[in-house]
Chain A
Amino acid sequence: MEPNELERFEAVVLPHLDAAYTLARYLMRDDHDAQDVVQDAYLRAVKYFGGFRGEGPGAGRPWLLTIVRNTANTWRQRHRADALATEFDEERHSEMVADDHPEATAVAQSERATLRRAIDDLPPEFREVIVLRELEGMSYKEISDVAGVPVGTVMSRLSRARRRLEEALCPASEDC
């Protein structure tokens, strides 16, 4: 990479490291794997950066997140056997509770833990649209670019993902 390209990369792609790591954490559900995925994604990003023609400070984010998402998918496929074995990991779930902020009330804590467990239990296709929409605030069009599916699919995945989360937090029979 030429020095001026490296400079452009540092300005356009590097600032989105936290967003990349957050998406990878949700997709991989494991800190170590998430770090490996992000590093791998950045190496790919350097390689493909010559073909990236986005303008503006925000343009690098959907572009980078697309690479993170694809890298995470590749990793998951490669480690599918492991992934299945750890699908319902007791330790991971108890760790989540321990992660909670101490100042939160017991109720909020258990709600938060329930929510995170519900997210982790979603299929990855649902998890990614939730993170991109709720945490990254992306438009349906941007999500459709990142996930590589039509806008209509983004809409229906979001709808189904939210219904499942709602059910987990508050069963339909109750009024919460």
Chain B
Amino acid sequence: MTHPVFVTQLDAYLDGELAAPEAGELEAHLRVCPDCSRLERRRRTLSVALREQLPRYEAPDTLRARVRAALREQSSHAARRRTVPWRALSVAASLVVVAVGSWQLATRNAGSEAIADQVLASHVRSLMAGHLADVPSSDQHTVKPWFNGKLDFSPPVFDFAGRGFPLLGGRLDYVDGQQVAALVYGRRQHVINVFLWPAGRGRAAGSGAREFTRQGYHVLHWTTPEYTYWVASDLGLPELRDFLVLVQRGDAATR
């Protein structure tokens, strides 16, 4: 028979958590009690099996990216809070210093900065679990019709898988006070979000792309006669520019 007093101490003993006097007593008992020492052997066998066979999991890259994105978002909130007075001051200063007429340009730029912030926030949010695509599909003929009835425009959707930028899906998003189409493309482990909506009247069309950089993300913006485009990704700028050229050519080919 086994001895309850020793059995309760056995695990602490094997884990090296039993005080020396008790450990000495237990060892002495194990030498003379075959039932308790059989129990000890079973525990040791189990311990080896657990250590050898219980898998440790490595966090997947997607999780790593999500955690980092969440951290960046946290720190950028703080950074924005800190920089707001300075930005306000610089806007005020530019209004004073700069001649009348250029204020229009300044406010338009401030507007772009604000939209770039929104685009980036949407991009980061999309990386969180289950938010990337409402219609996860690599088939442009599935993604494009999905927007029917959800938007009052039909966004041009392409699959650049042959060029290393596969289509991952699409979703509805909300930027600059309106519903917009968000198309999701991939590049290796990177995600690219393309936001687009009909170009408003009076906006300069066909101007070159503007580039914004925020906390390691790049945001590109350009307009065509029909659409306002915003692109966000953590992909390197040279590759993102390649992607931009593909989208611009694709867009031009639809007209």
Q: Does A97 contact B (CB under 8 A)?
A: no
A:103-119 near B, CB below 8 Å: 108, 111-112, 115-116, 119
Q: Does B53 contact A (CB under 8 A)?
A: yes
By the criterion CB–CB under 8 Å, are A115 and B54 in contact? yes
Interface segment, one of A16-24, A55-63, A81-89: A16-24
A158-B11 in contact given A46-B71, A130-B50 (Cβ < 8 Å): yes
Residue from the list B12, B51, B54, B58 in contact with A21, Cβ < 8 A: B58
Residue from the list A10, A20, A140, A175 in contact with B15, Cβ < 8 A: A140
By the criterion CB–CB under 8 Å, are B64 and A115 in contact? no
By the criterion CB–CB under 8 Å, are A17 and B59 in contact? yes
Q: Does B67 contact A (CB under 8 A)?
A: yes
A43-B59 in contact given A158-B15, A162-B11, A169-B49 (Cβ < 8 Å): no
- Kindly state the separation between the CA atoms of A43 and B72 in the bound complex, as whole angstroms: 11
Chain B residues near A25 (CB, 8 Å)? 57
By the criterion CB–CB under 8 Å, are A35 and B60 in contact? yes
A176-B42 in contact given A22-B57, A35-B60, A38-B59 (Cβ < 8 Å): yes
Q: Does A3 contact B (CB under 8 A)?
A: yes
By the criterion CB–CB under 8 Å, are A166 and B128 in contact? no
- Kindly state the separation between the CA atoms of A22 and B70 in the bound complex, as whole angstroms: 20
- Kindly state the separation between the CA atoms of A159 and B46 in the bound complex, as whole angstroms: 12
Q: Does A133 contact B (CB under 8 A)?
A: yes
By the criterion CB–CB under 8 Å, are A115 and B49 in contact? yes
By the criterion CB–CB under 8 Å, are A39 and B56 in contact? no
A155-B12 in contact given A38-B59, A42-B70, A42-B71 (Cβ < 8 Å): yes
Give a binary string over B33-69; 1 marks a CB under 8 Å from any A CB, 0 the rest.
Answer: 0000010001101110111011111111011101100
**Residue count of chain B within 8 Å CB distance of chain A:** 37
Q: Does A2 contact B (CB under 8 A)?
A: yes
By the criterion CB–CB under 8 Å, are B54 and A135 in contact? yes
Chain A residues near B47 (CB, 8 Å)? 134, 162
By the criterion CB–CB under 8 Å, are B71 and A9 in contact? yes
- Kindly state the separation between the CA atoms of A165 and B42 in the bound complex, as whole angstroms: 11
A:146-162 near B, CB below 8 Å: 155-156, 158-159, 162
**B51 to chain A: closest CB distance in Å?**
6
Chain B residues near A169 (CB, 8 Å)? 46, 49
By the criterion CB–CB under 8 Å, are A38 and B67 in contact? yes
Chain A residues near B11 (CB, 8 Å)? 155, 158-159, 162
By the criterion CB–CB under 8 Å, are B64 and A135 in contact? no
By the criterion CB–CB under 8 Å, are B57 and A156 in contact? no
A39-B71 in contact given A21-B63, A159-B10, A162-B43 (Cβ < 8 Å): no
Residue from the list B43, B64, B79 in contact with A17, Cβ < 8 A: B64
Instruction: Identify 19 residue pairs between A and B in the complex whose beta-carbon atoms are under 8 Å apart, listed by A's number.
Output: A1-B74, A14-B67, A18-B58, A21-B60, A25-B57, A35-B129, A39-B70, A43-B70, A46-B70, A46-B71, A46-B74, A111-B53, A112-B53, A156-B8, A158-B11, A159-B10, A162-B47, A169-B49, A170-B45
Top 5 A-B pairs ranked by shortest CB distance?
A21-B59, A159-B11, A134-B50, A22-B57, A17-B59
